[in-house]
A and B are shown apart, each in its own frame.
Chain A
Amino acid sequence: MNRVMEGAAAVPAEGARAGVADRQGQLAPLMIAPAIAYIVALIGIPFVMAALYSLSDVTTGDPSIDFVGLHNYREVFYDPVFRTALSNTCLFALASQTLVIILSRILASALMQDFRGKWLARFLIMLPWTAPIALGTIGWLWMLDSIFSPFDWLLRRAGLLGAPGVLLGPMPNLYWLGQSGLAMASVVLVHVWRLLPLATVIQMAGLSSISRDLLEAAAVDGATGWRRTLEITIPLTLPIIGIAFLFGIVFTFTDMTVVYVLTRGGPVHTTQVLSTWTFFRGIEGGDLAQGAAISLFLFPVLAGVASLMLRMARRAEVT
């Protein structure tokens, strides 16, 4: 505050003509106002509307709001599909992000080394992040197709599928999206594919911030590669790994595209997640109020994750 005052006093010559641009006390709130307006308009108001809707009997065809208390929450909570969707949402987020963190750590280490074609490798690894999620997922839908899957073709060519007595059975296809276990694994796989680049870049940033002297000193003292990783690299990059993990959790938790495009929640709701169930119930089914109630179940988890992210970001900054 004092610095702001000093700044303002430092331009007495133009004092009479000084505009807002020179009054930092006013300029700061003015500059931040668009961001706040943006957040209020696109996050704050929809959130309040969702909360209002969830306490009402509003439908897509009748936007008038009559309050029904917590009725929608009770209905939603006793719905077995909702419980499946809730557990799937958590499962997909945790499973995919655990894999993402492990794989991104390996990739980041590899990409920190010097080798021929390093830039091409980095470019290729970043590609999934640049593709729109829907487009990428449609690509995966074709790859996992019941009839034309190239994975199935490769497995058949390798003699692992499509003949009596072979490892993966006599059927010509695995039906990736038609069998619960494989469908769930497919959803996790696509989440890993799309979030791996971001996590890798974050981990590379963390790795590059570790002092080379420290690692060289440890090597001189006889620490092996594993020991250096476990006792120096990982502890020092833990805050940034945490940030990558939590970012991924938020992205996966709130994503609707992957499940909607790949499985639409099937077979028999076994890949249903909260965001798709919100859509089917609230928009397609017309029950906007229950849709809102389902979507708000995401809020406490996301609020907790956001709070953790902020704490970790602060820790990372101090480190």
Chain B
Amino acid sequence: MAKKGRKGLTRREFVKAAGLGALAAGVAPGILLPGRSYAQAKDLKILVWSHFVPRFDKEWFDNFARNWGQANGVNVTVDHIGIAEIASRTAAEISAGQGHDLIEWVASPSQFEPSVLDLGDVVSEAEKKFGKQLPLCRRTSYNPNTKKFYSFCHGWTIDPGNYRKSLWEKAGKGSGPTTWEDLITYGGKIKREQGIQLGIGLSQEIDSNMAGRALLWSYDTSDQDEKENIIINNPKTVEAVKYMARLFQEAMVPEVFAWTAVSNNQSLIAGRASYILNSISAYRSAQKEVPEIAKDIYFTPALKGPRGTGWSCEHVIYNYIVPKYSKNADTAKKFLLALVENYDQAMYASELYNSPAFFDTPIPSGNRGYAPVKGARKLRDLHNAWFSDDPFALPGETKGKLLVLKDAEKWSTNVGHPGPANPAVGEIYSTFVIPNMFAGAARGTKPETAVAQAETQIKSIFAKWREKGLVGGTK
């Protein structure tokens, strides 16, 4: 059967060839890429999210990282991933014990504390050079129980209210809402008379998480107190939940139960929302896609609750971690300091989406890639100037629309407020306990029951992380 000289392969030849092929495939990488098994001293691998403002990555960050690498003799690799993949990718790299030297999160990565380096030295060095770090940034990167900086927070994003001025003017409140109750009074009126609802998510996604927390804090309650004790089940939470049920009935439609991360932008740009809670990205998108809508969009600071408290949740908070497996930790730390040093460019390239964690950072001299701002010496000066006169405003657009966001750090806070971010509030966030509590009541569950159900879940989550020593509090 297996005669030589026949055309084609005999079975024996096929098996041999297949075996050799498999062997070659397995061994070849080791022969061809011997250097792969050794860590190179001057390498830096960075994993960052794909920024919501595309030009940030394309026009600035990638170039900045490459240029910094060239100037410092470091071979820098930047990989971008979608926001939804950050958690699973980080978990995979930590589990494998290899991967990127720097991983950027857009939330607090507190659950990774046991597997990452303490970045307290970078924070100290940064504060020495660039002044005090913003408290909300510190609270999302520092564990007061273990006294460890599990991440380095370089910036954050403001989450104001965005409203359509023309609709609110017709309803008799052209300056936009100032209290949560205004959303029912005037937002409800707009829905009844003009047929446009407002859009505050009650769904299993990030914007709903932020909106729900902003409402709780503005009603002087939260999931935890400053010492990380659970306080969710109290009359003020029930009051906030009752409010949300009323708001849904009066001013919203069931689309909010199917809200996604793009729904804010989509509904505002489509002219189907009188008010949303979102960063300025929805407005920026409207400027590019539907300028006439963009010209009608104005902003409000955090809305006030029944006792005059008003808080907004940071929209995105940028945290870098350095996993313990990294062989280039020192290089990574130098890069972080360089990033803060050049944050004026980050602010500009993000079209003011990014706000700095270190407002007192001096502005480097020379051509910075934007029109110089007279008298500006620190990031604070730039921030004030740009929010007073938006460099990205459309021709003919009203000046000073962003002015109300100038002091946003005073009414913005972190997930976990009034305490620090921690793995328990992180898991509550990731499993959507708070938006589901509000959504349950909006769909007919008794508010007291919705709060009690949320408390049961929160207690179970806290107990688990307390056992690991990563969360404080006793109650």
Contact = CB atoms under 8 A, between A and B. Distances in A.
Contacts of B88: 283-284
B11 A21 contact: yes
Nearest to A22: B12
A146 interface: yes
B443 A267 contact: yes
Given A61-B423, A146-B258, A267-B257, A284 B112 contact: no
A62 B204 contact: no
B430 A286 contact: yes
B87 A266 contact: no
Contacts of B461: 285
Contacts of B391: none
A75 B464 CA distance: 10
Given A285-B430, A286-B423, A175 B255 contact: yes
A178 B254 contact: yes
Contact of B427 (A80, A171, A178, A286): A286
A183 interface: yes
Interface residues of A, number: 46
B86 to A, nearest CB: 10
A80 B433 CA distance: 12
Interface string B112-131: 11111000000000000000
Nearest to B114: A62
A293 interface: no
Contacts of B78: none
Given A57-B467, A286-B427, A264 B205 contact: yes
Interface in B1-46: 1-2, 11-12, 14-16, 22
B185 interface: no
Interface string B67-103: 0000000000000000000011011001100000000
Given A62-B468, A283-B87, A286-B427, A266 B270 contact: no
B287 interface: no
B431 interface: yes
A191 B412 CA distance: 42
Contacts of B464: 57, 75, 287
A285 B258 contact: no
Nearest to A264: B204
B281 interface: no
Contact of B263 (A27, A146, A176, A269): A146
B439 interface: yes
Interface in A156-192: 171, 173, 175-180, 183
B426 A267 contact: no
Contacts of A147: 255, 266-267, 270, 272
A180 B464 CA distance: 31
Contact of B254 (A19, A21, A179, A269): A179
Contacts of A60: 87, 90-91, 94-95, 111-112
Given A284-B430, A285-B431, A267 B423 contact: no
A98 interface: no
A19 B19 CA distance: 13
A21 B426 CA distance: 58
Contacts of B16: 19, 21
A269 B436 contact: yes
Contact of A59 (B205, B253, B440, B468): B468
Contacts of A81: 431, 457
A47 B254 CA distance: 40
Interface string B202-230: 11110000000000000000000000000
B468 to A, nearest CB: 7
A265 interface: yes
Contacts of B270: 147-148
A284 B12 contact: no
A260 B464 CA distance: 26
B258 A175 contact: yes
B253 A175 contact: yes
Given A19-B16, A62-B468, A266-B204, A173 B255 contact: yes
A266 B266 contact: no
A137 interface: no
Interface string A257-268: 000000111111
A264 B205 CA distance: 8
Contacts of B272: 147
A20 interface: yes
Nearest to A146: B255
B453 A14 contact: no
Nearest to B271: A147
Given A59-B111, A268-B439, 4 more contacts: A59-B114, A61-B114, A175-B254, A179-B254
User: Which A-B residue pairs are the 4 nearest by beta carbons?
Assistant: A21-B12, A286-B111, A146-B255, A267-B257
17 contacts: A19-B16, A20-B15, A21-B12, A59-B468, A60-B91, A61-B112, A147-B266, A147-B270, A175-B255, A177-B258, A178-B256, A264-B203, A266-B432, A284-B88, A284-B431, A285-B461, A286-B430
